[in-house]
Structure 1
Amino acid sequence: MAARVVGLGLTVVDHQLVLPRLPGPDQKTTASAASVQVGGPTPTALAQLATLGGPAATLVSTWGADADGQTIEANLTAAGLQFDADLCRTAPRSGFAHVWVEAGTGRRSLAAVRPDGSSLTAERAVRAVDGADALHTDGWPGPAAVAACRAVKAAGGLVSVDLGASEKLEELIALADVLNLPVPAFPRLTQARDPIAGVRALLERGPRLVTVTNGSQGCWFAARLPDGVESGFVPAFPAEAVDTCGAGDAFCGGLLFAVLDGRPPAAAVRFAAAVASLKVRRFGNREALPDRAAVEALLAAHEKTPADS
């Protein structure tokens, strides 16, 4: 797997508290643990890709020349990710998030302040992805992400998009080869009531593999094959969740690894589901990311194929 992978997207520092329960309005509680870690859909997906034994990737993002920026750079280096400091260290301040995780269930609440992405222009993004065999993006910042996707696509590279809450939904759907979105975003993009019909409809708008994740409820997928379309549902692997933060990002990292590894669509989605299941069993955005041996062991222990439709 010698592909040159570039990731473009949001990077923040997560200030995480573990709580006995998520408080409601005007309620107070005491945290049992606290940590500071680096988050963001794209850097976490790239770290997962590297942990699985995939190619070391380059991150294109923005952060500030401040203490949080130093934390980001140290974390990326430790995770084996590359970055151009002159390009990335250009925001007035680094982005950050407050993350509350409920002990026992892994449920989380999150509020974030995004960094200023105006320094990451479309022109700079295109230069940064030049020569990439694969691009993974969460669609932030919108114009730069779209320009980067177009450049990689035009050069014959693979475009992987974790759609989330991007402002450039239609452009990114059309440019994506691999498209993932969480189930809450589904109603905004398709009128289909049946999930399988919905992922098939999204497939017709450009991608060759579409996944819609629904946490512990599993994942729907559709893929274009030489002889037609394959679609189905992959159940989530049973897990006692302790921290669901970053599970979708880890899923995307696992899916990108499996696609680059040449696995068939259903097998690739199942691999990604196993990655997410292992991630939620431990705390942390980096410490909890599983390696390939752990994923393969989980797959072997639950040999089962998804129900096609």
Structure 2
Amino acid sequence: MASSSSVVYADVPSPLPPLPEKRIVVGFGGVGVDYLATVVTFPKPDDKIRSTSLKVQGGGNAGNALTSAARLGLTPRAISKLANDAPGRIVLEELEADGVDTSYIVVSEEGNSSFTYVIVDNETKTRTCIFTPGHPPMTPGDLSQSSLISALDGARLVYFDGRFPDTALVVAKEATCMQIPILIDAERKREGLDDLLNLADYVVCSAKFPQAWTTAPSIPSALVSMMLRLSHIKFVIVTLGEDGCIMLERSMNEPESKEIDVDSLLESLKLKIDGNELIPTCISSKSMMRLGAGLIGTVSGRLLVGTAEKIPPSELIDTTGAGDAFIGAILYAICAGMAPEKMLPFAAQVAAAGCRSLGARTGLPRRTDPRLDPFLR
């Protein structure tokens, strides 16, 4: 028998931090079904080709982001509209299976649920989407005041993807009255989006949106312009795919430092990035400063650059829904009170995990996924 001195104890990993105390998030926007087909290479006009694989699963920006948030441990509630058809039933079943509360989704007895054909090109690792909107669309009359109040009760955040703008504005105004912070996904210029942005506390943009919306000459100057036009936002993030992301965080205090050109600052931060680092990281300006963008103006804040995970080509399957996965992680990070330096790499890691499987939801990681462990502690 071995003596007690010879016993070897295996290292036991410390438990994850507790879940955020306030973790109810409400998501308003699009839910639907994705029909995903992979092909060897994208077809030319009038070609006939075969798919190499096919998957049918729930989609839609809000549906995907809330699924991401649910798997990370939040308690999401979805507000949207579907039809009582086969795709609609698929959507509800999948959301409920992931822990998303669907009791505030309006189900119409007529019309059709939204769906998207997604063609994934294995050669270029790109995806082409053909979207068919649901009908009839959601209108303010679909959501009673009592249901709206119930949906928002106890919520830490409300997220909008820009769909159903008339109804979204009703929800956003009520959230503002209840002093619930609002996060907007600014994927592209949409009808009614400006009204939502004027109520936003946080904005996450696609790569093309900031300059398209502001007409500024560069992304950094466009972020300064957005901060000046939207006086309530605490931060704005622009996602850049494999090039990571850029974040501008507002300062509530006016720094005494001299003005620094925001484009030059971005270039100096990029020089500090370790190009050999495989996992997501974040580089930030050291302190709050006056960031200038020429004739556009100046804001007080901090600039941060987040990198993306370097996914080996053999592991990169599909980027569908990567931005939605990123937003789901941002929702979690805000609820958990993560610092931006920790939030950006965490969100990048969640998005990268999803890119390793076909479809927006198949590869979304759960909170206990070992790949997230270093970013949660």
Query: TM-score under structure 1 normalisation?
Result: 0.89
Counterpart check, 1:199 vs 2:199: no
Q: Percent identity?
A: 26
Q: Is contact 1:61-1:120 (8 Å) kept? A: no
Residue among 196, 218, 240 paired with 1:172: 196
C-alpha deviations, 1:134-157, integer Å up to 9, x for none?
A: 111101101111221121122111
Structure 1 CA distance for aligned equivalents of residues 123 and 375 of structure 2 = 25
Counterpart check, 1:222 vs 2:248: yes
Give how far 1:117 is off.
5.1
In structure 2, the residue corresponding to 1:156 is in which secondary structure? coil
Counterpart check, 1:26 vs 2:50: no
Q: Is contact 2:82-2:106 (8 Å) kept? A: no
Structure 2 CA distance for aligned equivalents of residues 86 and 244 of structure 1 = 27
Paired position in structure 1 for 2:340: 265
Cα distance change of structure 1 residues 37 and 125 upon mapping to structure 2, 3 Å threshold: farther
Residue among 361, 365, 370 paired with 1:286: 361
Report the aligned-residue RMSD: 2.1
Structure 1 CA distance for aligned equivalents of residues 141 and 335 of structure 2 = 26
Question: What are structure 2's unaligned runs of at least 5 residues?
Answer: 1-19, 254-299
Paired position in structure 2 for 1:120: 139
Counterpart check, 1:238 vs 2:238: no
Query: TM-score under structure 2 normalisation?
Result: 0.74
In structure 1, the residue corresponding to 2:247 is in which secondary structure? strand
Counterpart check, 1:296 vs 2:319: no
Within a 5 Å distance, the mapping from 1:43-62 to structure 2 comes to 43-54=63-74, 56-62=75-81
Give how far 1:41 is off.
0.6
Partner AA of 1:186 in structure 2: P
In structure 2, the residue corresponding to 1:99 is in which secondary structure? strand
In structure 2, the residue corresponding to 1:62 is in which secondary structure? strand
Question: What are structure 1's unaligned runs of at least 5 residues?
Answer: 301-309
Structure 2 CA distance for aligned equivalents of residues 85 and 232 of structure 1 = 37
In structure 1, the residue corresponding to 2:115 is in which secondary structure? strand
Structure 2 CA distance for aligned equivalents of residues 86 and 52 of structure 1 = 22
Counterpart check, 1:252 vs 2:271: no
Partner AA of 2:48 in structure 1: K
Structure 1 CA distance for aligned equivalents of residues 374 and 349 of structure 2 = 7
Paired position in structure 1 for 2:182: 159
Paired position in structure 1 for 2:237: 211
Structure 2 CA distance for aligned equivalents of residues 286 and 101 of structure 1 = 15
Structure 2 CA distance for aligned equivalents of residues 86 and 40 of structure 1 = 13
Cα distance change of structure 1 residues 14 and 181 upon mapping to structure 2, 3 Å threshold: same
Within a 5 Å distance, the mapping from 1:63-82 to structure 2 comes to 63-82=82-101
Give how far 1:4 is off.
2.4
Paired position in structure 2 for 1:150: 173
